[in-house]
Amino acid sequence: MKMTIGEIAKAINANTDNFNQDLLTTTVTGVCFDSRKMVAGQLFIPLVAEHDGHDYIDSAIANGAAATLWSKDHADRLPLKIPALVVDDTLKAFQNLSKYYLDKINPRVIAITGSNGKTTTKDMVAAILSSSFHVTKTHDNFNNEIGVPYTILQMESNTEFLVAEMGMDRPGQLDFLSNLVQPDVAVITMIGEAHIEFFGTRDKIADAKMEITHGLKSDGYFVFDGDEPLLQQRAKSVDVRQSTFGRNSDNDVFATDSKDSQYSTEFHVNLWPDVDFTIPMIGDYNVNNALAAISVGRIFQIHPKIMAKQLAKFDPTKNRTQWLVGSKGERILSDVYNSNPTAAKEVLIAFKNTDTQGRRIAVLGDMLELGTQSKEMHASLAEEIDPASIAVVYLIGTDMAALYDKLKPIYAPENLHYYQAGQIDQLTADLEAELASNDEVMLKASHGLHLENVVAKLTK
């Protein structure tokens, strides 16, 4: 992003009567809402949440902020050292600025949501499209009302495609994000139990996910999991072109087979049986993510052999079914960004089918936001865990106690370990002492358990 202060002010309807002409023609080279990460020349966005961003203006100025947005209800603290664009609401102004910039650059937009797989699918779509176009994609999981505008404002002026991941934890959130970006293609990867605490049922989760189509252009495409009855039913009310993916042969794009190797998965697609597809991830569920991405590539006429080449080398976002090597030489399957029962079971299935000369060790942490069904859902993971395939199990978190109770009858005490949420350091120390060079260890939990700290210690 490169815009003058005058252009920014006009885009967000901020008054500049007291600004001199030199200030208005000053170029801003980006936006930042964390003063610690401010790069000289950027616009500071002081958001008000748990902390008030206005309190950090001195830090932003010290780190080179060229200008700042400023809430009019903080007018008594108006900074004098840099231009301050006074607005009613800094978040709303930030969002309006992103909308202005999106319209100015005018890329085609791919919006992606789903209970599982949206980040991986985003990475796959971006890899496929980048073979022929200049692509900007969501960084990490910047997928909410702050993250999506931030992603938009990171676009270079030559961006032809924006691949925007969109998350949600309440009704109306995807409606806002979809209307903000007005996608050319809207993708729903699947419907699971994520955030069921807030929605109550999968039906209501499906209703909320369908909001991603609310801003869809009239000549756009809706791409969705055609094996999901909840989406099949709701798609009938969306009057745009549609493309389905999945495993059933009545989908537009479906896998005719799939085979896991040690650290990758191979499959074929009905439309091009002679093309060999490989993704650098294990797990049959990741094939579905690839089918969603292939569906998008097909819409924009990317050759199937080019799609196969791009998928074979795409770079997944960190901690999503990511293979690492530990300090002892052990193999680590890190999938610790988030978790829910469907995702955890799929990773367990993939993990217990790997080839290993040593033991398979599973580390599972609480799956959050499951509501009144949480303990039952945690206990249900036992369906995919047994001593013959997973030799040792480490569990951490309040509701993982339900899975611990379920596994106690089938595991020897020395092979089944349970820790309270605050005992992550003890878990890490015990796991480090147990691991041998030929073992494989899988880690899966919601982000609130911070198993990424365990991964960091094991790979140090």
How do residues 143-172 score in pLDDT, each as one tens digit? 999 999 999 999 999 999 999 999 998 999
3-state DSSP call for residue 3? strand
The domain defined by 106-313 carries CATH number 3.50.50.60: no
The reply to whether 6 sits in an annotated binding site is no
3-state DSSP call for residue 181? helix
Q: Are 192 and 115 in contact (CB under 8 A)?
A: yes
The reply to whether 460 sits in an annotated binding site is no
Sequence-distant (6+) residues with CB within 8 A of 49 are none
* Spans of all domains in the chain: 3-88, 106-313, 322-458
3-state DSSP call for residue 363? strand
Task: Give dist(CA 110, CA 83) in Å, integer.
Answer: 35
Please determine, for residue 195, whether its predicted confidence score (pLDDT) is greater than 90: no
Please determine, for residue 9, whether its predicted confidence score (pLDDT) is greater than 80: yes
Please determine, for residue 193, whether its predicted confidence score (pLDDT) is greater than 90: no
Please determine, for residue 197, whether its predicted confidence score (pLDDT) is greater than 80: no
Helix (H) / strand (E) containing 44: strand 43-44
Sequence-distant (6+) residues with CB within 8 A of 112 are 118, 121, 122, 125, 163, 164, 165, 166, 186, 187, 189, 292
Tell me what the pLDDT averaged over the chain comes to. Answer: 95
Q: Which of 132, 130, 150 is nearest to 140 (CA)?
A: 150
Q: Which CATH number fits domain 3-88: 3.40.980.10, 3.40.1160.10, 3.20.20.70, 3.40.1390.10?
A: 3.40.1390.10
The reply to whether 114 sits in an annotated binding site is yes
What separation in angstroms does the CA of 123 have from each of 66, 70, 141, 356, 431? 32, 35, 11, 28, 31
The reply to whether 118 sits in an annotated binding site is yes
The reply to whether 200 sits in an annotated binding site is no
pTM, rounded to two decimals: 0.93
Task: Give dist(CA 308, CA 257) in Å, integer.
Answer: 15
What's the CATH architecture for 322-458? Alpha-Beta Complex (3.90)
The reply to whether 358 sits in an annotated binding site is no
R_g over Cα of the chain: 24
Beta strand 360-365 with 31-32 is: unpaired
The reply to whether 453 sits in an annotated binding site is no
- The dihedrals phi and psi of 431, each to the nearest 5 degrees, come to -65, -45
Please determine, for residue 263, whether its predicted confidence score (pLDDT) is greater than 90: no
Tens of pLDDT, residue by residue over 297-328, are 999 999 999 999 999 999 988 878 889 999 99
CA 32 to chain centre: 20
Q: Are 437 and 330 in contact (CB under 8 A)?
A: yes
Query: Above pLDDT 90, what percent of the chain?
Result: 88
Predicted confidence band at 369 (pLDDT cuts at 50, 70, 90)? Answer: confident
3-state DSSP call for residue 399? coil
